[in-house]
């Protein structure tokens, strides 16, 4: 009798795939996200979009802008839902100082690359990013296409 492998649950809620294409990502941070009850319920259903999401530093605090959480139907909640409201990020002082230093002095930006569950908490993966030039984006596409072609060639040669 073979042992059954336990199902591996993917804890990722949403990814910002565009960020790795538009930016060169460097340092990663993990931040908690302050959410309302209806937002957590929507995230449990996987209704979030991180396109054009970035982090703004204001008064020594980090804020998540542009994160779109699709509200539930109005019958199940009594709160007027604002899907693109600014959400507070929970970071320690050293991380806040590092992000503030990079965004002001080095000219980098801080983007949210994914939202995920860590236990019962919602966490955001943040990355310091430098914008790519158009020729860098073309190089990324060429590398991606070549890796796909290599996989096809290997797959076809193994079958024969």
What integer pLDDT is reported at residue 9 of this predicted model? Answer: 57
Residue 129 neighbours by CB under 8 Å, 6+ apart: 19, 23, 24, 25, 26, 108, 109, 110, 111
What integer pLDDT is reported at residue 137 of this predicted model? Answer: 79
What integer pLDDT is reported at residue 8 of this predicted model? Answer: 54
| 12-132 maps to CATH 3.10.20.30 | no
User: Backbone dihedral region of 87: left (phi > 0), alpha (psi from -120 to 50 degrees) or beta?
Assistant: beta
Helix (H, G, I), strand (E, B) or coil at 91: coil
| Per-domain residue ranges of the chain | 12-132
pTM of the model: 0.75
- Identify the CA nearest to 100 among candidates 67, 58, 54, 52: 58
pLDDT less than 50: residues of the chain: 1
């Amino acid at each position: 009798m073979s042992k059954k492998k336990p199902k591996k649950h993917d804890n990722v809620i949403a990814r910002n795939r565009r960020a790795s294409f538009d930016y060169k990502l460097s340092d990663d941070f993990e931040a908690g996200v302050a959410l309302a009850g209806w937002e957590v319920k929507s995230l449990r259903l996987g209704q979030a979009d991180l396109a054009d999401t970035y982090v703004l530093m204001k008064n020594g605090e980090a804020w998540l802008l542009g994160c779109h959480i699709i509200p539930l139907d109005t019958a199940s909640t009594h709160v007027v839902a604002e899907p693109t409201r600014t959400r507070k990020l929970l970071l320690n002082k050293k991380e806040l100082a590092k992000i503030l230093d990079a965004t002001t002095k080095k000219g980098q930006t801080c983007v949210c690359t994914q939202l995920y569950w860590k236990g019962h908490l919602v966490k955001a993966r943040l990355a310091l990013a430098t914008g790519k030039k158009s020729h860098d984006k073309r190089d990324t596409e060429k590398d991606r296409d070549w890796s796909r072609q290599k996989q096809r060639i290997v797959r076809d040669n193994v079958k024969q």
